[in-house]
Amino acid sequence: MPPIHLTEDEKNDIIELIKQGRPLPKEFIYKLCADDEDVFLFWNGRSESVTKAALPFHSIEHIDEPRREPGQPGESLDMFDKGGRQLKGWTNKLIWGDNRLVLSSLVNGPLRDEIERQGGLKLIYIDPPFAVGADFSYNIAVNGEDVTKQQSVIEEIAYRDTWGRGISSYLSMMYERLKLMHQLLAEDGSIYVHCDYRLSPYLRIVTENIFGINNFRNEIIWHYDIGSGPKKDLKRKHDTILRLSKSDKYAFNGIRLPVRNPNRYDQIDKNGRKYFVRGDTGKKCYEDEGIPADDVLSFLDTDQLRTLNSMSDERRNINYPTQKPEYLLFLIVKASSNEGDLVADFFCGSGTTAAVAEKLGRKWIACDLGRFAVHTTRKRLIQVQRELKKSGRAYRAFEVLNLGKYERQFFFGVPADIPAEQQERLLEAKQEKYINLILEGYSAQRIQGHQHLHGKKAGRFVHVGPLSVPVTKTLVEEVFEDCRQNLITQVDVLGFEFEMGLVPYIKDELRQQGVDIRLRYIPKEVFDKRAVDKGQVKFYDVAYMQVKPQIKGKSVQIELTDFTTYYTQDDLEELEQSLKKGGSKVVIENGQITKLTKDQHGILKREPLTKSWVDWIDYWAVDFDYEDKKEIIHLEENGEIREAWTGNYIFENNWQSFRTKKNPKIELMTAPHTYDRPGQYKIMIKVVDIVGVDTSHVVEVEVK
């Protein structure tokens, strides 16, 4: 270790500051920590440690054969088209969860081996949040009006934490994730980091620190058409994309842009291709090959590099706040990967990287924290599947994954890599702490003396469901019996997951016997003390759906006949008081979307926008043989990998209907599904409402 170059006065100053418990100036910290490096990268809160969790992934949906785009003239009712072909082997991954835990589980878990068998991860593109105070709310169109769906509390918390101490906390967040990405990337892989003028200087230094200064390849400028800035400054009309490789062995196919002067290509070869001959070299330059790009990608070279304004087809079809042009990703994916390679985006947003990768014949992994981002990506990739199938091109199945109960257990300090019996004992020992945590998030008071009732809130009793398994019909009946014996008429049952079919059972059976049981989801935000302390944790009711099977011999169709939600985002009375004269606001309260208007005289008018339950449906899908495929996960216990059945089944998406900007109508009847043999079958129906919340239901049918 090199000597520490401190004067006697500096040594005395440091000793005195330590005695007083005061922070050391940065120049002292640098001198104390200096080594042979010319530059030591330091910021407040920097840590070399990274998460080493290896949590199992749950496969919650598998999307295989896409159906034809609905509503086309002459469309048959066949479930599957004949064009295109599905590529076997790797199944693409769309993962909903915190990318820190997702990355750690990919790096350290069994899925790493599967990635390596595909040749490793060749390309990562990320477009992380880079605006202080960024808003990830989005607009929903309901009967001609735009409704603002606020970002989820968990996104708010994650973002607030990112910027909690300013740039230092942002860098700490990005540093850990970039280190995990570096571990996951193949030796011949590359990474592209998208940022703006505020963060590009910091992220360049951080990425060079992780990947090595010799592996920095390009600072790419994306010059777009719309910009703004203070009057005394130049307009800001570019983003920066940092390109680095993991080693000096990396794929690069170059980037070529459309020709600027097509009139120059004045000759045609025997195949009909236009070209010109360079006078200095005699080389034929073909128009369809384009021209080599430099490190400035500008809309002046091609309109396809413009920002996505509200009238562009891409924006109108997807309409996601941070959406980037597909052409920009097309250039990046083509440049640094080859057909069949695996690419990833761990801040996937609307799924542009995955959509481009699918169209270019690449395999992909996409991940996002936001429920709405994952839902938007799912719809987008189904559309891509449909387009590829229609044009006769190959495509891949994809699955939707999450970390499920293991993520909750991780938050609660129960590791996933110990035997299930030990996990159960640990959970049992922490049961009282767990109940108190949930009740605090729910703002309920703890009560004693009941076997199944844990708290009380505003006159209603509260039962806290288990951390790791769904609330079952049996458990609800035990809560009901506890209420009945103690003459209790109102109870809220809280849970992370619920057995399907509980809502109609409670509605049709238990409420008729005098106990009003309400099922409410526990959000993941309950594990964040800051959200609990500020009263920001929102529990929401389980929605209710009705379906009607229509059976003709071995053929079955499912009709969606009703959907009820009690989703609440806003406080209507509070907004009525705060609304200014002449103003209007669209609010979501208790399953109703209402336009609130106050005229110049202060008179309030309420106009319901959701006129039918159908207005709440954004997407629904059906698995006609739900118990056909067990969900098998890989668990690591004591250093060994074993397979285990979760007790659940994978939802195979056989049929789906969803709204798009181009086709906002939703179908309420599936195409017929014909079974190969007679028997009893369980059919699962999944609905995603316009605010992105999933509701599932199972019906049993018998075909002869």
Task: For residue 633, tell me if it sits in a domain.
Answer: no
The closest alpha carbon to 70, from 406, 321, 390, 454, belongs to 390
CB 496 within 8 A of CB 522: yes
- Mean of per-residue pLDDT scores for the chain: 86
Answer yes or no: do 443 and 393 share one domain.
Answer: no
Task: For residue 661, tell me if it sits in a domain.
Answer: no
Final residue in a domain of this structure, among 501, 517, 538? 538
Which of 121-125, 168-172, 652-656 is modeled with the greatest confidence?
121-125
The pLDDT of residue 326 is above 70: yes
Task: For residue 662, tell me if it sits in a domain.
Answer: no
The pLDDT of residue 519 is above 80: yes
Handedness of CA 22, 23, 24, 25 (dihedral sign): negative
| Tokens 């057909």 found at | 339
Torsion on CA atoms 398, 404, 406, 411, rounded to nearest 10: 120
Answer yes or no: do 484 and 391 share one domain.
Answer: no
Arithmetic mean of pLDDT, 11-26: 84
CATH of the domain at 387: 3.40.50.150
Pairwise pLDDT comparison (478 vs 278), residue with the higher score: 478
Helix (H, G, I), strand (E, B) or coil at 580: coil
The pLDDT of residue 380 is above 90: yes
Task: Give the per-residue pLDDT at 80.
Answer: 42
CA pair distance 338, 326, nearest whole angstrom: 17
SS (H, E, C) 481-523: HHHHHCCCCEEEEEECCECCCHHHHHHHHHHHHCCEEEEEECC
Task: For residue 680, tell me if it sits in a domain.
Answer: yes
Q: Taking the model in full, what pTM does it have?
A: 0.87
DSSP state, 421? H
| Tokens 């998030």 found at | 441
CA pair distance 1, 59, nearest whole angstrom: 50
CA pair distance 71, 659, nearest whole angstrom: 12
CB 473 within 8 A of CB 502: yes
| Tokens 């759906």 found at | 545
| Encoded amino acid at 545, one letter | M
Answer yes or no: do 513 and 560 share one domain.
Answer: no
Name residue 366's beta-bridge partners.
94, 345
Task: For residue 269, tell me if it sits in a domain.
Answer: no
DSSP E strands in 114-157: the ranges are 121-126, 138-142, 145-149
CA 258 to chain centre: 34
Torsion on CA atoms 464, 468, 470, 476, rounded to nearest 10: -30
- Decide: residue 588, CB within 10 A, 0-12 exposed, 13-18 middle, 19+ buried: buried
CA 93 to chain centre: 11
CA pair distance 245, 59, nearest whole angstrom: 31
Summarised one tens digit per residue, pLDDT across range 558-571 is 999 999 988 877 77
Helix (H, G, I), strand (E, B) or coil at 191: strand
CB 550 within 8 A of CB 556: yes
| Encoded amino acid at 538, one letter | K
CA pair distance 196, 237, nearest whole angstrom: 10
| Encoded amino acid at 502, one letter | L
CATH of the domain at 614: 2.60.40.10
Helix (H, G, I), strand (E, B) or coil at 100: helix
Task: Give the per-residue pLDDT at 126.
Answer: 97
Answer yes or no: do 245 and 365 share one domain.
Answer: yes
Pairwise pLDDT comparison (32 vs 699), residue with the higher score: 699
CA pair distance 138, 155, nearest whole angstrom: 13
Pairwise pLDDT comparison (517 vs 40), residue with the higher score: 517
Torsion on CA atoms 298, 300, 301, 304, rounded to nearest 10: 80
The closest alpha carbon to 52, from 410, 526, 525, 528, belongs to 410
Rg (CA), the chain: 28
Arithmetic mean of pLDDT, 468-487: 94
Number of separate domains in the chain: 4
Task: Give the per-residue pLDDT at 318.
Answer: 64
Which are the contacts of 41, defined by CB distance < 8 A and separation ≥ 6? 205, 206, 209
The closest alpha carbon to 695, from 573, 546, 534, belongs to 546
CA pair distance 485, 234, nearest whole angstrom: 74
Answer yes or no: do 554 and 682 share one domain.
Answer: yes
Answer yes or no: do 316 and 399 share one domain.
Answer: yes
The closest alpha carbon to 257, from 217, 298, 207, 225, belongs to 298
Task: Give the per-residue pLDDT at 282.
Answer: 85
The closest alpha carbon to 152, from 172, 142, 163, 138, belongs to 138
Helix (H, G, I), strand (E, B) or coil at 590: coil
CATH of the domain at 478: 3.40.1340
Task: For residue 241, tell me if it sits in a domain.
Answer: yes
Q: Helix count (H) and strand count (E) of the chain?
A: 18, 36
Answer yes or no: do 534 and 549 share one domain.
Answer: no
| Encoded amino acid at 596, one letter | L
Name residue 598's beta-bridge partners.
604
Answer yes or no: do 528 and 558 share one domain.
Answer: no
The pLDDT of residue 81 is above 50: no
Task: Give the per-residue pLDDT at 77.
Answer: 37
The pLDDT of residue 683 is above 70: yes
Task: For residue 638, tell me if it sits in a domain.
Answer: no
The pLDDT of residue 111 is above 70: yes
Answer yes or no: do 522 and 615 share one domain.
Answer: no
Torsion on CA atoms 153, 57, 352, 63, rounded to nearest 10: -110
The pLDDT of residue 79 is above 50: no
The closest alpha carbon to 139, from 315, 312, 306, 308, belongs to 315
Task: For residue 73, tell me if it sits in a domain.
Answer: yes
Domain extent, residue 442, equals 428-538
Final residue in a domain of this structure, among 503, 538, 573? 538
Answer yes or no: do 68 and 22 share one domain.
Answer: no
DSSP E strands in 143-266: the ranges are 145-149, 185-195, 216-228, 236-245, 256-257
Measuring CA to CA, how many Å separate 2 from each of 25, 29, 35? 21, 15, 6
Handedness of CA 234, 239, 244, 250 (dihedral sign): negative
Task: Give the per-residue pLDDT at 74.
Answer: 37
Summarised one tens digit per residue, pLDDT across range 612-634 is 899 999 999 999 999 988 888 88
Which of 89-98, 578-587, 642-651 is modeled with the greatest confidence?
89-98
Answer yes or no: do 250 and 334 share one domain.
Answer: yes
CB 120 within 8 A of CB 183: no
Answer yes or no: do 205 and 235 share one domain.
Answer: yes
